[in-house]
Every structure is written in structure tokens, then in C-alpha cells.
Amino acid sequence: MKILPLSMKNLRRKPGRTAVLVLLTAFLAMAVFGGSVVVLSLRTGLRNLEARLGADIILVPSEAQSKVSFQNMFLQGTTGAFYMDASVADKAMEVPGVEKTAPQTFLASLKADCCSIRIQVIGIDQNRDFTVQPWIARSLTGQLGDMDVAVGCEVEAGIGEIIRIYEQRCRVVARLEPTGTGLDTAVYCSMQTMDTLLAAAEAKGISHKISSGDDSVVSAVYVKVKDGYDIDTVNTALTGKLRKVTAVRTRSMITGVSDSLAGISRTVSVLIGVIWLLAFIILLLAYILSIKERSREFAVLRMIGASAKMLGRLTLFESGICGCIGGLAGTGAAAVGALSFSALIGSSLGLPYLLPDIGTILLLAAGTVLLTAAVSALASAFAAWRLSRIHPGTALREGN
């Protein structure tokens, strides 16, 4: 007697029962795959944010902390425009332990022609920058020219395309790699281009706190600490030396994000655990009831020569097939949801969110399907063991 064709026939013969078992296992697979993709994406986002920031300390005007949280600007892409004296960059260099400083100027555009929201324009001093330039260099050899911009990966403009900011035509010359944060929605340009954009804003009657040609103010200064110096000590020294300036340690910013991530990971893990436990109990009960209902069918099979071991294998095959189909369906549904709406999930969480590479996702999907099939088979194993202990004669008499 061939087990596989018989299992398939049994499953087809009772479509309602099969559908319930498949749905249960699909639910299990969805919970595991969806939850794992979210947690992995948060971890990937955090790793990339850490790599992108590059600096040890960021100096911002004190008002930046109250006006628009500096962290929100990075993580959620909230536009911010705050300014401080440009001499901060030179003064910071006088502090022992500071290796280099890179000033940046922020400008919240009114509305670019591309989008319905404001975008953050960031002007970088190309001679001093060490944070954005290495990333721009991955897709652009040389420096940003006049009216050239590098765009974050979420700005859907290809290299060579023109985007208009304050009615000014800016040529996209580089696209930056994703970070899963607000940095992905920013547009980077040289200080010269920033001047032109400010002049264009003034011509349109839009007033910013800085005016074109005013190079005496900057928005943030990125600080790299020399090797061998304690970053906290340098941070304290910078706070003491510079007035009306807040020194933010990038590590503390990332630690805050990391703590939120750990909290979310814990919650997701507990939820997955609870769902698995409940689904396992339901599957176990479903198989026990199903075997009880089919006791006469199994007794007849025993009488025509099927061994108890063979019936056990039949049950395991049936549950394994249900687990595989449910696992594939659940993983597929979760993949469609998690991949299609990743931008929405990322913005809802407000944390760095970046999908892992396709290889990892495929591996995770395969693992989920295998795990679901294994758990489904495990749930039926108990029922199969009980079945092997019942004498066919007794089963037939009980059935009558």
C-alpha cells in the first residue's frame, strides 16, 4: 500500500477538515515569517544607520533639541531648519581629541515638484565632509558640482534626472544606499548650490532664518574623535566650551533606537510564542478528534493488512502535507504583505527599517515552511501513537 497517494486521497475526500488544518498551519507560518521579517528589518536598519552616521559626536544648536527632535529628523525624516554660528566647527577643533569636523546646513524645502511633502535639503562642505562623501563616492567619482544633488534612496529620481526645488533645476548625480531612516528622504548638495536655493526661496518671498550668501551659520557639525581619546570626555569638553550648543553622542542616539528595537523584538517574540503555543494545542486537539472520528476507517485498514506503523506514517504524511501547504500559503501571504508594505511598516514604527537581502528572506521562508510542516507532524505524532495502541476489533465495536 502506497502511503502518499492514500494520504492525498484522504485529504481530498474531506475538504473541510483539510482546509481547517491548512488554515491553522498557515496562520502559524504567517506569524513566524511576518514577525521575523519585521525584527530582522529593524536590525538591518540599525546596522546601516550606525554605519552611515560615521561621526562620533554631532553638535547642534540647543534649540534643535526642543524645536524638532534631532533624533526624529534622522529616523522619521521630519524636516528641520535650525542654525548656529559657523565658527562652532573651528572652535570644536581646538578641543583636545577632536580629529576633524564637518559642518552641514539644513534647509526645509517648501515643496519639491516631486512630492507633496517638504524635503530636507542638506548642504555639505565638500572640503571637510567625512560623513556623506564616502557614500556619495560609491556612485559618483568626483565632487558635487553646481546645482548637482545626491538623493536618498527614497527619492525616486534616477541619475541624470532633474528635480526642481524652489523652481530651481537640480541634476541628480548620485543616489545613496538605503539606511531605512529619514536620511533616505534627504537631498544633499554643495554649499554653493544651497546658496542658489536660498536665493530662489528669497525670490519667491519665502523667508528662512538664513539668507543667500550667508556662510556664517550652519545647522550641525559632525565631529570625529581621535583614536585613543575617550568620546565621553571629548563630548563633555565640547559642551563646556561651546555655548548654546548641544553635543549629541551618536552612540547614545543609536542606543536609544537599540533599546526601542529590543522592546519591539521582545514583544514580537512573545506574541509569536503565544500564537505557536495556542496553534499547537489547537492542532493537537484537531488531530486527536480527527483520529477518533476516523477510528473505524483505520480499523478497516488494519483488517485489510495495514500495520499500526503504516497507519502512523499515514497520519504523519497527512499532517506533513497540510503543514507544507499551510506553511507555503502563510509564508507567501506574509511575504506579500511585509514586502509590499515595507515603507508603511517602517514609517509606522518610526525606527530604522530596512528589509534584509533577498537571500536571507528566501532562507527564512524555507525555514518557516519546514518548521511549520515539522510542528504539524509533531502535533499529529501523539494522535498517531494513540492510534497504534487501539485494537481494530475494539475500534470497530466502539464505532458501532
Partner 1 sequence: MVKKQVIPGCITLVLSLVTAIGSTTFLGPCVHEDGSVGACHWAGRALLGLGLLLAVLSLLAVLLRRARGGLYLSIAVTCILGMLTPGTLISLCKMSSMHCRAVMQPAMILLFAAAGTAAVCGAAASMRKEKGRV
Chain residues binding partner 1 by CB under 8 A are 77, 111-112, 114-117, 119, 153-157, 163, 184-185, 336, 340-341, 343-344, 346-347
**φ, ψ dihedrals at 165, nearest 5°:** -125, 125
Closest separation in Å from C-beta 208 to partner 1: 17
* CB 330, min distance to partner 1, A: 16
Q: Which residue has cell 538591518?
A: 44
Distance of CA 158 to CAs 173, 186, 197, 264, Å? Answer: 8, 15, 21, 35
User: Which of residues 270 and 339 has its CB atom nearest to partner 1 in the complex?
Assistant: 339
CB of 372 to partner 1, least distance (A): 23
Residue 169: helix, strand or coil by DSSP?
strand
The least distance separating partner 1 from the CB of residue 121, rounded to whole angstroms, comes to 13
Cell 484522504 sits at which residue? 10
C-alpha cell, 59: 553638535
For residues 150 and 116, the answer to whether their CB atoms sit within 8 Å is no
Do 172 and 162 meet the contact criterion of CB atoms below 8 Å apart?
A: yes
Rounded to a whole number of angstroms, the minimum distance from the CB of residue 169 to partner 1 is 14
Do 44 and 85 form a contact (C-beta atoms < 8 A)? Answer: no
CB of 255 to partner 1, least distance (A): 25
117 vs 285, beta carbon nearer partner 1: 117
Torsion (CA) 221, 227, 228, 230 in degrees, nearest 10: 20
**Cβ contact 101:89 at 8 Å:** yes
> Residue with C-alpha cell 499500526?
308
SS3 state of residue 245? strand
Q: Which is nearer to partner 1, 49 or 221 (CB)?
A: 49
